[in-house]
C-alpha cells in the first residue's frame, strides 16, 4: 500500500489563525489547462498621465483638484463604501432571521507615489518607507473615531483595480469585520491555552522548518502559510510582539519597507509581469481588551490570483464556494518558487 505523501495525495490543512480547514489536491496541478486565459498589459506607463484622476494636479471625477504632491497623497474616496453619517435604526428583536444594523465609517484613497508609472516593487526603499509612515499615521487618526481600520491594496485590473496609478485604500468602520473577528478569537483562545502569541509561535516554528519561508529580514518574515488558499499567497509577519503598525520604531519601519520591496519584486519576477494581488494589514481593533491585544500580532496577507502563468488565474468556484476552500499547488512548492526568484526586478536587469 502506498505511503501518504503531501506533495502527491489529497489532504486537508487547518488554518490556526481562522479556525477553518482547506483541501489540498496537489495531483491536480498536472492537469492540462483549456480554460480562460487573461490578457497581459505590458504597455509602459508614463510618469504623468493627464487623463488619470490620481496624478498630481489633475481633476478627480467629483471635480476636486489634486494638489501637486511629490511623494504620496490621501483623500476621502469619492465613491466610499462606508459613510460616517449613516442614521441609527430601531432594532427588531422579534425575529432572529432578519437581523440588521447600520454600518458607519469612511473610506480613503492613498496614492503611493506621484509617479504614474511606478508600483511598489520598483519604488525605492525610502519611498516605500513613506508609505509605511502614512499607513501608521492614518491608522492613528482614524482610530480616534472608528473601531477598526483596514489598510489594503488591490493591484492590477484582474483584481478589480480601476486605475493603474500606484495606490491603495483605507476603510475605517465602527465594527470588527468577519475575518478580523475570526483572527481575534483564534489568537485569544491560543493565548489562553499556551500563554504565548499564536503568530509569534507560528513564525518561530516556520523558521525552524524553513519549508515555507520565502525570506527573512532583521525584523520580519515573508512566508507561504501552511494553510494558504491562493496559489502564491504569502504572509508578512514580525518576529517580535507588536499589535499595530504605528507601534513600529523607525528602524523597524525601514526594515518593513525593505521586506515589502523584496516580496513584491519576487512576485513580479515569478511570471515577469506586474503581479496582481489584494493585500492588507491586520491591525488589532481598538476595542480589544488587554489580553486580546496581547494575543493579536500585526501581520499582512497577500492574496494573488495567478496560478500557472501571467495569463492563467485561479477561479474560486464549485466546491470552493459551496463546501470548502481548495488549492492544487502545495504551499511548500509555492514557497520554493518564490524563494528562487531574484531580488532584482526583471525590468531593471
Query: Which positions are catalytic?
Result: 167
C-alpha cell at 138: 492614518
Cα Rg of the chain (Å, integer): 21
List all residues 6 or more positions away from 333 whose beta carbon is below 8 Å from its beta carbon.
7, 26
Q: For residues 293 and 48, what is the distance between their CA atoms, to the nearest angstrom? A: 43
106 in helix, strand or coil?
A: strand
CB burial readout 228-237, b (16+ within 10 A) else e: bbbbbbbbbb
Taking residue 27's Cβ as centre, other Cβ atoms within 10 Å add up to 12
List all residues 6 or more positions away from 74 whose beta carbon is below 8 Å from its beta carbon.
108, 109, 110, 111, 134, 138, 170
Looking only at the bridges linking them, the beta strands covering 325-327 and 20-24 are parallel
Half-sphere exposure of 43 (CA within 13 A, CB side): 7
Half-sphere exposure of 78 (CA within 13 A, CB side): 10
List all residues 6 or more positions away from 312 whose beta carbon is below 8 Å from its beta carbon.
33, 35, 37, 38, 306
Task: Give the bridge partners for 221, in sequence order.
Answer: 216, 237
Looking only at the bridges linking them, the beta strands covering 11-15 and 73-76 are unpaired
Which residue has 474616496 as its cell numbers? 77
Which residue has 518564490 as its cell numbers? 338
Q: What is the DSSP letter of 304?
A: -
Half-sphere exposure of 84 (CA within 13 A, CB side): 10
Question: End-to-end CA distance of the chain, in Å?
Answer: 50
Amino acid at each position: 500500500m502506498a505511503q501518504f505523501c503531501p506533495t502527491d495525495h489529497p489532504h486537508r490543512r487547518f488554518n490556526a489563525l481562522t479556525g477553518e480547514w482547506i483541501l489540498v489536491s496537489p495531483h491536480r496541478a498536472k492537469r492540462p489547462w483549456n480554460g480562460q486565459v487573461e490578457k497581459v498589459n505590458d504597455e509602459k506607463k508614463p510618469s504623468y498621465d493627464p487623463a488619470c484622476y490620481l496624478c498630481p494636479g489633475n481633476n478627480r471625477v467629483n471635480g476636486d483638484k489634486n494638489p501637486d504632491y511629490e511623494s504620496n497623497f490621501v483623500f476621502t474616496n469619492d465613491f466610499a463604501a462606508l459613510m460616517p453619517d449613516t442614521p441609527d435604526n430601531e432594532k427588531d428583536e422579534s425575529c432572529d432571521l432578519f437581523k440588521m444594523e447600520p454600518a458607519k465609517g469612511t473610506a480613503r484613497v492613498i496614492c503611493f507615489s506621484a509617479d504614474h508609472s511606478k508600483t511598489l516593487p520598483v519604488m525605492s526603499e525610502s519611498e516605500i518607507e513613506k508609505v509605511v509612515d502614512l499607513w501608521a499615521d492614518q491608522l492613528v487618526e482614524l482610530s480616534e473615531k472608528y473601531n477598526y481600520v483596514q489598510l489594503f491594496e488591490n493591484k492590477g485590473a484582474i483584481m478589480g483595480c480601476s486605475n493603474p496609478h500606484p495606490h491603495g485604500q483605507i476603510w475605517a468602520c465602527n465594527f470588527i469585520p468577519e475575518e478580523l473577528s475570526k483572527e481575534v478569537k483564534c489568537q485569544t483562545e491560543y493565548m489562553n491555552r499556551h500563554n504565548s502569541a499564536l503568530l509569534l509561535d507560528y513564525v518561530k516554528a516556520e523558521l525552524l522548518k524553513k519549508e515555507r519561508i520565502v525570506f527573512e529580514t532583521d525584523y520580519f518574515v515573508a512566508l507561504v502559510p501552511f494553510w494558504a488558499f491562493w496559489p502564491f499567497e504569502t504572509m508578512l509577519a514580525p518576529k517580535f510582539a507588536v499589535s499595530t503598525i504605528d507601534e513600529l520604531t523607525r528602524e523597524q519601519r525601514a526594515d518593513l519597507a525593505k521586506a515589502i520591496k523584496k516580496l513584491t519584486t519576487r512576485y513580479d519576477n515569478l511570471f515577469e509581469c506586474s503581479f496582481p494581488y489584494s493585500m492588507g494589514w491586520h491591525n488589532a481593533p481598538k476595542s480589544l481588551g488587554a489580553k486580546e491585544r496581547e494575543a493579536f500580532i500585526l501581520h499582512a496577507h497577500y492574496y494573488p490570483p495567478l496560478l500557472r502563468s501571467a495569463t492563467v488565474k485561479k477561479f474560486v468556484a464549485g466546491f470552493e464556494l459551496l463546501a470548502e476552500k481548495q488549492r492544487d499547488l502545495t504551499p511548500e512548492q509555492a514557497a520554493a518558487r518564490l524563494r528562487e526568484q531574484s531580488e532584482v526586478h526583471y525590468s531593471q536587469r
